[in-house]
Structure 1
Amino acid sequence: MGRSGNGCAGRRGWGRTALRSATLPLALVLTTACQTNAADGPGTAEASLTVRYDRPSGPDADDAAFVRERRLPEEAVRHVTALVRLDPPVVMTVRSCGGEGPAYDPRTREVEICYDEISETRRLYQDGGQGLSDDALSAVLLESLFHESAHAVIDVLDLAVRGKEEDFADQFAALMLLRQGAEGEERLLDVAETWRLSAITYENENEDDGQADEHSTDHQRAVAYLCYLYGAAPAHHADVIGTDTLPADRARGCAREWRRARAAWMNALGRPAEDAVSARRPGR
């Protein structure tokens, strides 16, 4: 959930550790090529988005183990490549970020995801006095994976972006999660709660990082994600409306807001609107 800017597509954050990771020898680098079915859309067995794990720095060993055991980058690749094929291909590298935060670099076509985001998210919940489940922690990292993948998609496909690219990337993350049906809705709810907690726990730091022109505030992101969640399935999420969560006046327009955000991405990708909707939408 941490963010920092790098001038390309970096994200805001509340601090990082100081050490960079050391790269594994080539023979030990784990790479996962995307494999998609004809039913998934335009993807092929070609590797359009691959995963690479760098050796973590010492403090990040447990975080790296969590990411590897849960196979979160591989899950993100599977969902992204079910919707879009990237040509030229993009590498998703998972490493110790040493204070720089997750980002996408268009010069190298590399998505960089941080092991240390795991410990930072745990620390946020500790500072906020709340418990954090492993499933919620996984949801937070998946949102980062989808958000940074969105920057890669925008760059590789040379998509026109209306408004701020960071907001458009958040909408892609919401789309990727909501395509997962009820499980994705629960994940998006966890993500929104994490942004809400960040806003109230680190309010002064978040408002004074010099990136207000590129990134919405943590509070704005929390509300936007709740709006997309509610707009996608109002009958299942009326409980997210409240004065300190999703204001009622905003909620009234969320179905329209989500339809527009979803349509913007599907139109940009040249995909029919029905491809944005999960075919396995069980009740909560």
Structure 2
Amino acid sequence: MIRRWGTLALCAAALLPVTAGCVPQGPAPVDGFALRYEKPAAADRAEYRFLRDRAVADPVLADLNGHLVLPYGITVVARSCSGEGTGYDPAAHRIELCYEDLAEERALFERSGSPTSDEELAEVVRETLYHEAGHALVDVLDLPDKGARAEEDAADDFARLMLLRGRPEGEETLLTAARAYDLAAAAPAPAPEVPMDPEGLEEAEDEHAPPAARAEAHRCAVHAEAPTRHPSLATPSRATCAVTWPRTRDAWNRDLAPILRR
């Protein structure tokens, strides 16, 4: 998700002091992705400890920094977000990873009657981080603006690209994330809420593809990359995946060529 509105972006843009909900920015990394944790709200302490003690985000950032050379730094900040949700702030070159989102994901599995393991929750978080890194790279590369939904789809494609680079563990991460999307699709719809931006304008509706479509796109890509490891994914509806996914993967690789680490 792209964070278009929100206190953080306004604080960074206006250089406001740390008041009225603004949080300290801290030193920005010179280049590449860098991680820091903010003190959690009392309700988020368990999620903070989970992320920090298991070093959930560290392998994602190491993978990104080992693969790409960025012209400037992007900070990944784990924090309590007061309901704003995980997202990328292009004004601050910053990804916010919200502690609350972990609790929501765990609750989603538990309500389904199929509690998730800690490793499965970590996999969902990693897929989310790759997705938000995709937004950051659209910004870094100044890719053409094809609309909000197209960018969300591109960020999902980037997550698939990074996780499917010949690594079975990446395939499992995508399949776990697909399961989480399936559960989200099956969950009762929440009461409608329209968040407001600071000027009183209505925020746009969710620009992501529907959860069921995101789940299927993950499985399609896994099937295309590793059909022999996942024969159960070979259904008639996925007959075209071996053609469509390589096209998408190769398009991202062409875009990334200027910043690939040699």
TM-score interval for Structure 1 and Structure 2 normalised by the shorter chain: 0.7 to 0.9
Alignment gaps of 5+ in structure 2:
6-19, 195-203
2:260 is aligned with 1:260: no
Normalising by structure 1, we get a TM-score of: 0.74
CA contact (8 A) 2:153 2:208 kept: yes
State which of 134, 143, 154 in structure 2 corresponds to 1:168. 154
State which of 87, 110, 126 in structure 2 corresponds to 1:103. 87
2:4 corresponding residue in structure 1: 7
1:66 corresponding residue in structure 2: 50
Structural mapping, 1:141-152, within 5 Å: 141-152=125-136
SS at match of 2:213: helix
SS at match of 1:82: helix
2:108 is aligned with 1:124: yes
2:140 corresponding residue in structure 1: 156
Matched residue count: 237
CA contact (8 A) 2:185 2:211 kept: yes
CA contact (8 A) 1:21 1:54 kept: no
Whole-angstrom CA distance in 2 between matches of 1:253 and 1:129: 33
Whole-angstrom CA distance in 1 between matches of 2:21 and 2:179: 30
CA contact (8 A) 2:68 2:259 kept: no
Structural mapping, 1:242-261, within 5 Å: 248-261=235-248
SS at match of 1:234: coil
CA contact (8 A) 2:70 2:259 kept: no
1:199 corresponding residue in structure 2: 185
Q: One-letter code of the match for 2:215? A: A
SS at match of 2:102: helix
CA contact (8 A) 2:88 2:94 kept: yes
Aligned Cα root-mean-square deviation (Å) = 3.1
CA contact (8 A) 1:60 1:115 kept: yes
Alignment gaps of 5+ in structure 1:
9-19, 34-45, 242-247, 276-284
Distance apart, 1:115 and its partner CA: 1.4
State which of 46, 50, 53 in structure 1 corresponds to 2:37. 53
1:282 corresponding residue in structure 2: none
Structural mapping, 1:25-104, within 5 Å: 47-104=31-88
CA contact (8 A) 2:227 2:233 kept: no
Q: One-letter code of the match for 1:66? A: F
CA contact (8 A) 2:141 2:255 kept: no
CA contact (8 A) 1:104 1:151 kept: yes
CA contact (8 A) 1:24 1:54 kept: no
State which of 209, 228, 231 in structure 2 corresponds to 1:235. 228
Distance apart, 1:207 and its partner CA: 9.9
2:208 is aligned with 1:211: no
State which of 115, 118, 128 in structure 2 corresponds to 1:134. 118
Whole-angstrom CA distance in 1 between matches of 2:226 and 2:91: 39
1:24-78 CA-to-partner distances (Å, cap 9, x unmatched) read 896xx9x9x7xxxxxxxxxxxx642111211111111010111011212221111
Q: Bigger CA drift: 216-225 or 180-189?
A: 180-189
SS at match of 1:55: coil
Normalising by structure 2, we get a TM-score of: 0.80
Q: One-letter code of the match for 2:249? A: R
